[in-house]
Amino acid sequence: MAASQVLVGFHAVAARLRHAPASIKDIYVEEARRDRRMLTLVEQAQAAGCKVHPVAQTRLDGLAKGQRHQGVVALAESLELAMDVDEVLDDADGPAFLLVLDGVTDPHNLGACLRTADGAGVHAVIAPRDRAVGLNTTVQRVACGAADSVPYLTVTNLARTLRSLKERGVWVVGTDDEATETMYDVDARQPIAWVMGAEGEGMRRLTRETCDQLVRIPMQGSVESLNVSVASAVCMYETLRQRVAK
């Protein structure tokens, strides 16, 4: 099995052990660490049949390539959680719930979005292939395992994908600081895709024009806008609130 992904840190490695231990080839741990957290991880790895190699910190530094590894690095195969958007919609439990990121290239933002998407029950995160960051080690670390549970799909033509979603009954809502309606004017109980643009630039023109509805997040203070990962979280949890409200 050829390793094609490096998992760095306790959260990323533990999450993969829970979700897909068979995809892990080797786990490298700092030989000097004998604390409870490390011993627990090693026990979980051995119980799952994974190879554990105690090594020097310098070896881990090299494997992690500058990332903060906390004394644990794993080599694994990349997981393919879904082939395409249609597969996600076909398998969705309940009304579709999607997050679309147009031009978000910062791995910390993507990792945070994936982590919140997992918590809110989002079925998939979608991004344009030419304006997106891949699932690198930073994304894996910040996502705290969510990259192994939420499908992250990159598409060649975002506007075409949004039109396909609309044809399948998904209401496409874009966030825009200049919109007259607010996020609280959205009926998020229906199948929905929230579209977030990059900080500063916002959504591209064609993306904006393809949306069914444009809304803004109310801002009461002096700051004009929220970080994209925070804005995404606000909209995703408003959707969850509406869907679970009694």
Phi/psi for 231 (5° steps) reads: -60, -40
Angle formed by the axes of helices 10-19 and 36-47, nearest 10°? 30
Q: Which region, left, alpha or beta, applies to residue 166 given φ > 0 means left and ψ of -120 to 50 means alpha? A: alpha
Query: Which string of DSSP letters, residue by residue, matches 75-141?
Result: EEPPP---SSHHHHHHH-SSS-EEEEEES---HHHHHHHHHHHHHHT-SEEEEEGGG---S-HHHHH
Residue 17 annotated as part of some ligand binding site: no
Phi/psi for 155 (5° steps) reads: -120, 155
Structure-token pair, residue 13: 């490695």
Residue 41 annotated as part of some ligand binding site: no
Residue 217 annotated as part of some ligand binding site: yes
CB 174 within 8 A of CB 205: no
Cite the annotated binding site by residue number. Answer: 197, 217, 226
Cite the annotated binding site for S-adenosyl-L-methionine by residue number. Answer: 197, 217, 226
